[in-house]
Structure 1
Amino acid sequence: MKYLNIFHANLNYAYLTPESYEFVIRHSYEMMFDTMAEHFPGVKYVFEASGFTIEQMAERTPDVLAKLNAAIADGSCEFMGSPYAHPMLPNFPEEDGLWTLRFSNDIYQQHLGFQPRSFWNPECGWRSYVPKMVHDAGYANLIGDFEAYSRSLKSDGTPQRPEIYEAEHSNEAAFYNFAFRYDLPGSEPAIHFPFNQLQGLEKDQLRMLLRSDRIAQHGVRYFMGMDGYTLESYLELIRKYSSQSEGESEGAMIVFADDAEYVGTNGWFRLKYENRPDNVFEHTPKSREKLIDLVAACLEMGEFITFDEACATLPAIEEPITFDDDSAWHGAFASTWANTPMARILRPWQDLVREKLNASEDLTESTERQAWYHLTNSYNSDGQWPPTLPESPHIVHPYNYQYCFDNLLEAEKLVGGVDHSRLETDAKNTLNEILSLQQNLVLKKAEAAMTSGIANQNTSAQQAKQLIESSRDISFRLDSGHQIRPDTYAQLAAALTEARQLVGGIEIERSEEAVN
């Protein structure tokens, strides 16, 4: 069996702010480049990054970008492309997606000197036009998600994989569905060989190789040191899914295909599993050793290849592959990213700007291009994430929201403004939806502490209560009630965050099966 490691790098990550960019680049990306070069020269891996991420690396850490280019030049690293600002492609029109892919391709040409052949589709979000968009942008290969594939219907409306569909399909709009109720045989061809007949395309116009959460999620937890997710348990899983039927050609399997930030930093892990939202993107010193151990152990079982090699050289599965519209990885729905409070208040404004942009006939080519650039940047998924629900009362990070807001405002200016009176959104309601769940939980904990009789707790609790009252002050008008100004949101979110810290934190993620 051949193996693949794919490291998905995204500096447009929720809760990751510019002052931490270099820290993440050096402790995660550079660490990987150095580790592979020093310990495994010539061993292949895949590094994917958005146009935004490559641009930030070029500006902040040109020496690290040089190491990436060196790894690409010596053939050990395949660079994989993705949209410029990490939008969810299924949540916007096809034309918009093509623009953001072009913006990334321009950055790749500028800083890497070529157009990648393989494409990373954010969150593996799907709509029928996604493969055509990727093909039209010049790509030859596309990553897909096995769980989404096996829980989807064929074009005739029947299950693509009936035996798995019956056990695992769900219409529940969950963020994560890691309940693998079907015991998948280790010899499953769909995780070993590429597909060459993608929805809406001719044969071999685009090839797809599937990642699986059955394997990749174990990898994330291994790097995070989660109880029970040891190197031995990881290798046991890899061995199981390295099985092949007698007489079958040698295949390949994706061992790791997830956020690169989980290799070198803790990403969102402390937030998701330990309810510690203030402990994100911290250095994880054991990552280097864990990476060395994993690669060395896999090399004892087979060789590593690139994504392009797997798609181009392995025998293809000839049967057509389709996905349900609105599907995504982790058993989620793509529209979940479009239904967060921030996404719902931004989307009507984005629609007005797009409408004006498409109707404008007097814009110069340069201005039109800049307008599309800023409009599609405002689609950054993590700037509108995470959702805010009783079981997960998260708040959106002010910086990430500001990135979307500022880009959208700039796009509007470039097209000459839009009629805001057509908007039916309400900033006050949106602020209440995002903030109130945490406010109520913090206030409840503060009021309980105020009756404890412990002086320090009582003082902190009183301060927390005052901050909650401050963060609830949304009586003022905000852009006629239609939008949320970033500075206003930042003030309210900061007050709530400080109050939450004063009471010692609250439960903000109840899911036991959740990794961003």
Structure 2
Amino acid sequence: MSKKPQIIFMPHANIQYSQLDPARRAWVCENCYRPLFELVRDGDYRIAFEASGRTLEVMHDEAPAVLDLLSGLIHEGKIEPIGSPFIHVMLTNIPPEIGIDTLRHGLDAWEKYTGVRPETGWNPECGWAGWLPDAYLEAGFKSLVMDADSFFLSFPEIREATGLKYDVQGHSNKNHLFKIEEYIKDKPEFLRYLTNPSVAPNGLKMIFRSDCMANPMLWYLMGATEGMRKDPVSLDEIREMFLKWQPRIAKSGSFIMPYAEDAEYIGSSAYFYVKQFNQARFFEPEPASVNRFRELLDMAKEVGYELSTPAEVIRSAETVIENDLIENIENGVAWHGGTAKAWANTSYSRILDPVCRSIFDGVTALRKHLGNTPELEKAMKAVTSAYVSDSRWPPLPTSPGRFNVRETLDDLYLANRMLEEAMAKGGIAEKRAIYSAPLMLTQIKLIEQILMEQKYFGE
């Protein structure tokens, strides 16, 4: 009897989501993460689950019973924990030193709150730059979940066949990525990257996820049409999708990772209506999506897949592809056929990022004089938090929430205050040529005025 193809579902959680009011974070823990964990607990299921360190911290502080559920499922082997930066940052848009520091901090959080240190990593928004494989390896990861669509679009023949183009002003090509599947469906030389692990030149193992299956499943979870189609995506369509991939897997590898999407879509509408239709509808209750997610898992099993996790498919793989072609992925792209540079080109980023960089440069300069004092460590963590991606996203006509931007401003004030304290305690308060906290304070106040005078989407 042939071995069943393996299949990976990986909801990923970001409690610092754009337009998620901090006052509703506990609600998301209770109405999205809890029902997901209870579903896994009560059924014959195995999944992967990613969360930022900040998400785990909020669970610990505001929904400890939910964190206990997650921790128990990890120790039972029903959930593989997937690590990521402590702060949900667009890694390609920040200094690599901050990226490596927050990746380590994220792993520390998993160990602190669950007792387990993940070996598989997730890259928020799948933003790409060539230094990322080395950063994940240096931070302590053994493997990384990659974006297949960005990878495939690095092949000129696929770019030409699909007609997909990148633009720093483009939100995404998400609803058009099926064109990639149409082109590669009968080409094992491309399919094999989706159905086998790869290994980067530095030794980091990789597995690839794609929107070609995740997007229809997201629409199924939402039960939405919104004028895009006559009827919602049906379970029969999902079944058909699972079945058509089985012979492709048989010819080219051993597994598929069809679902790496926001965990918040299980139990709420999360960002669906903003992203798809520019509607000011955020995190509306969607309790039916919990059962729909269960139906996705059950359907995968029913048609002959074995539920698995990233680490498991890597351990059990007979083929691991030596893959230096990741060096051809375009610097500055992201998942959904979009770009990380789109995050860097919103008005919020253009105002906030130079201030973040100046404060980070201050941390670096003062460490040369004082070493890594407690105050400088607090400043580093605060400026990292200020780089959070969702205070910069999305672009017009939508926007982040005012509260998302407010949190970043508060982080900048804290970081600047910590630098001032570090200089005072180190006896170099008068050496303002190194760093001037009073002058930086006026700059933070200036951008606060500019940003808080703006009107925000949904207000």
**Normalising TM by the smaller chain, what interval?**
0.7 to 0.9
Contact 2:409 2:444 in 1 (8 A): no
Name the CA shift for 1:345/1:290 in 2 (closer, same or farther; >3 Å): same
Alpha-carbon RMSD across the aligned residues, in angstroms, is 2.3
Contact 2:419 2:437 in 1 (8 A): no
Contact 1:378 1:408 in 2 (8 A): yes
Partner of residue 172, structure 1: 167
Name the CA shift for 1:143/1:262 in 2 (closer, same or farther; >3 Å): same
Cα distance in 2, alignment partners of residues 247 and 212 from structure 1 = 18
Pick the aligned partner of 1:38 from 30, 42, 48.
42
Shift of 1:247: 6.4
Partner of residue 255, structure 1: 258
Cα distance in 2, alignment partners of residues 48 and 264 from structure 1 = 17
Contact 1:103 1:373 in 2 (8 A): no
Partner of residue 337, structure 2: 331
1:387 to 2:389 alignment: no
Partner of residue 242, structure 1: 246
Contact 1:420 1:482 in 2 (8 A): no
Larger radius of gyration: 1
Which stretches in structure 1 are left out of the alignment for 5+ residues?
153-160, 424-477, 499-516
Q: Which one-letter code corresponds to 1:177 in the other structure?
A: N
Q: Which one-letter code corresponds to 1:71 in the other structure?
A: L
Partner of residue 132, structure 1: 134
1:218 to 2:216 alignment: yes
Cα distance in 2, alignment partners of residues 326 and 36 from structure 1 = 36
Contact 1:345 1:483 in 2 (8 A): no
Cα distance in 1, alignment partners of residues 18 and 224 from structure 2 = 22
Pick the aligned partner of 1:207 from 201, 205, 208.
205
Alignment of 1:90-489 (within 5 A): 90-152=92-154, 161-168=155-162, 169-173=164-168, 174-178=170-174, 179-180=176-177, 181-182=179-180, 183=182, 184-185=184-185, 188-196=191-199, 198=200, 201-202=201-202, 205-227=203-225, 228-244=232-248, 251-277=254-280, 279-300=281-302, 301-314=304-317, 315-322=319-326, 323-360=329-366, 361-362=369-370, 364-388=372-396, 393-416=397-420, 418-419=435-436, 479=442, 483-485=446-448, 489=451
Contact 2:195 2:249 in 1 (8 A): no
Matched position secondary structure for 1:242: helix
Q: Which one-letter code corresponds to 1:25 in the other structure?
A: C
Shift of 1:320: 2.0
Name the CA shift for 1:419/1:342 in 2 (closer, same or farther; >3 Å): farther
Deviations, residues 44-103 of structure 1 (Å, cap 9, x unaligned): 101100000000000111111111011001101001011111000011121110111122
Task: Provide the TM-score with structure 2 as the length reference.
Answer: 0.86
Cα distance in 2, alignment partners of residues 274 and 129 from structure 1 = 34
Give the total of aligned pairs.
421
Contact 2:104 2:140 in 1 (8 A): no
Identity of aligned residues (%): 29
Contact 2:255 2:313 in 1 (8 A): yes
Cα distance in 2, alignment partners of residues 10 and 238 from structure 1 = 28
Shift of 1:311: 2.1
Q: Which one-letter code corresponds to 1:410 in the other structure?
A: L
Deviations, residues 189-230 of structure 1 (Å, cap 9, x unaligned): 11111111x2xx43xx21111111111111111101123422
Contact 2:346 2:394 in 1 (8 A): yes
Shift of 1:369: 1.5
Matched position secondary structure for 1:367: helix
Name the CA shift for 1:296/1:373 in 2 (closer, same or farther; >3 Å): same
Name the CA shift for 1:481/1:280 in 2 (closer, same or farther; >3 Å): closer
Cα distance in 2, alignment partners of residues 489 and 171 from structure 1 = 28
Task: Provide the TM-score with structure 1 as the length reference.
Answer: 0.77
Cα distance in 2, alignment partners of residues 420 and 26 from structure 1 = 41
Matched position secondary structure for 1:493: coil
Shift of 1:150: 0.8
Contact 1:371 1:410 in 2 (8 A): yes
Matched position secondary structure for 1:46: strand
Flag the structure with higher helix content: 2
Name the CA shift for 1:364/1:3 in 2 (closer, same or farther; >3 Å): closer
Cα distance in 2, alignment partners of residues 32 and 246 from structure 1 = 30
Structure 1 range deviating more: 66-75 or 285-294: 285-294
Cα distance in 1, alignment partners of residues 258 and 416 from structure 2 = 43
Contact 2:249 2:256 in 1 (8 A): no
Contact 2:51 2:83 in 1 (8 A): yes
Shift of 1:234: 2.0
Task: List, as ranges, runs of 4+ consecutive aligned residues in structure 1 with deviation greater than 4 Å.
Answer: 245-249, 417-423, 478-482, 488-492
1:29 to 2:33 alignment: yes
Cα distance in 1, alignment partners of residues 250 and 211 from structure 2 = 26
Cα distance in 1, alignment partners of residues 343 and 401 from structure 2 = 15
Cα distance in 2, alignment partners of residues 489 and 194 from structure 1 = 44
Partner of residue 493, structure 1: 455
Larger RCO of the pair (alpha carbons < 8 Å, separation 6+): 2
Cα distance in 2, alignment partners of residues 275 and 175 from structure 1 = 11
Cα distance in 2, alignment partners of residues 336 and 246 from structure 1 = 38
Which stretches in structure 2 are left out of the alignment for 5+ residues?
226-231, 421-431
Shift of 1:256: 1.0
Deviations, residues 453-504 of structure 1 (Å, cap 9, x unaligned): xxxxxxxxxxxxxxxxxxxxxxxxx957973327x8557537x855xxxxxx
